Amino acid sequence: MSHLVLQALCKKYHQFVAVAETSLQIKEAEFISLLGPSGCGKTTTLQMIAGFTEPTSGRVLLNGADLTPLDPNRRGLGMVFQSYALFPHMTVADNVSFGLEMRKVSAPERTKRVADALELVGLSDFRHRYPVQMSGGQQQRVALARALVIRPPVLLLDEPLSNLDAKLREDMQEELLRIQRSLGTTTVMVTHDQSEAMAMSDRIVVMDHGRVEQVGAPEDVYAAPASDFVARFLGRMNMLDATISLSSGAALLNIAGYTLAAPDTMTEGPVRVSIRPEMLFLADEGVPGTIGRRAFHGAFWVCEVITAAGPVSFIHPNTGRPAPHTGAAVRLGIRPAGMTLVPAAAVII
């Protein structure tokens, strides 16, 4: 039996559909991310789970019990907010203790559990500080401790890391994951950052315009995106127009003047080719073109190559040989199994 279940959950504002009927089964101790651009309905979905937004229809079930009619304070779910939402007039210890007070936990046990929670997030020495006296990363940890100290069955994270700078965000990703794994708390995170979602989640739910586009393990969704939107949203994706021709029974694929063998199942005609940038490499044989813009990322370059089929981006690893300069003529090889072919007719439909 699934732990947390969304049953045809739907939210409409007059004519506007914020979240179309969404169903999702989340297993115990699973880390799930709702991923999508702003306005895709991911935050509304989280708000409906938390109880801050009333669904137009559908239900939220926890261990088979219907949470939908309950007020947020009766659901017992832990939540970390984008702005952390710490109580500014209370010390760190009082912030963390608040949820326990609401549960009428005795004072001695409260002290112990607050100390444990603060130790878990590495803030034991900060218990008497006020939120204004702490950095963003520290406030984030307090918010996490405050949500976890009540031992919630489900932890809801609303863009928890988006207010942190890049380096701190990576550290916090690891930290958050370590804590989540050690406690085994079922976690639903909302984020617009695809790399964050892929790095942390057991499964990701890609959403757009209030609809779920695809659900799956990050590797699977990345390797086999269900739609153009998912392909473009998760990492980069080159989409090129090419043609298939048949010659003495074998199918040949022609991309911008470069011919290679295609699967025999293909029929003659135009096709759409999807290739990830990391599946392309500099080679003696391959798609011809000239280098356009290039950007250095430390571990690799992202280069744009202008080909007859349009611009293509590829990743050149920084492993000794620098990337060619703008204007250089190059050929791009394609790694086997690095591309997906869809007949162009299918794309049009």
Query: Which residues of the chain form contacts with other proteins (CB under 8 A)?
Result: 50-52, 71-79, 81-83, 85-89, 98-99, 102-103, 128, 130, 133, 143, 146-147, 150, 156
Instruction: Decide whether 25 or 82 has the Cβ nearer to other proteins.
Output: 82
Question: Whole-number minimum distance, CB 308 to other proteins, in Å?
Answer: 52
The whole-angstrom separation of Cα 197 and Cα 191 is 7
Question: Whole-number minimum distance, CB 127 to other proteins, in Å?
Answer: 12
246 close to 280: Cβ distance less than 8 angstroms: no
Instruction: Decide whether 103 or 178 has the Cβ nearer to other proteins.
Output: 103
209 close to 192: Cβ distance less than 8 angstroms: no
140 close to 148: Cβ distance less than 8 angstroms: no
Query: Euclidean distance between the first and final Cα of the chain, in Å?
Result: 39
The whole-angstrom separation of Cα 139 and Cα 131 is 6
Instruction: Decide whether 56 or 91 has the Cβ nearer to other proteins.
Output: 91
Question: Whole-number minimum distance, CB 10 to other proteins, in Å?
Answer: 22
E strand or H helix at 111: helix 107-120
Tell me, rounded to whole angstroms, the distance of Cα 247 from its chain centroid.
Answer: 43
Residue 4, classified by CB atoms within 10 Å of its CB into exposed (0-12), middle (13-18) or buried (19+), is buried
Question: Whole-number minimum distance, CB 142 to other proteins, in Å?
Answer: 11
Question: Whole-number minimum distance, CB 7 to other proteins, in Å?
Answer: 22
For 156, the token pair is 């809801």
Instruction: Decide whether 36 or 51 has the Cβ nearer to other proteins.
Output: 51
The whole-angstrom separation of Cα 196 and Cα 192 is 8
Question: Whole-number minimum distance, CB 85 to other proteins, in Å?
Answer: 4
For 119, the token pair is 């130790």
DSSP at 75: T
Question: Whole-number minimum distance, CB 83 to other proteins, in Å?
Answer: 5
User: E-strand spans in 136-185?
Assistant: 154-158
Instruction: Decide whether 81 or 281 has the Cβ nearer to other proteins.
Output: 81
Instruction: Decide whether 120 or 240 has the Cβ nearer to other proteins.
Output: 120
Question: Whole-number minimum distance, CB 79 to other proteins, in Å?
Answer: 4
- DSSP for 241-279, please give it: EEEEEEETTEEEEEETTEEEE--TT--SEEEEEEE-GGG
Instruction: Decide whether 75 or 294 has the Cβ nearer to other proteins.
Output: 75
Instruction: Decide whether 77 or 244 has the Cβ nearer to other proteins.
Output: 77
The whole-angstrom separation of Cα 287 and Cα 309 is 9
Task: Please state, as a whole number, how many other Cβ atoms lie within 10 Å of the Cβ of residue 234.
Answer: 22
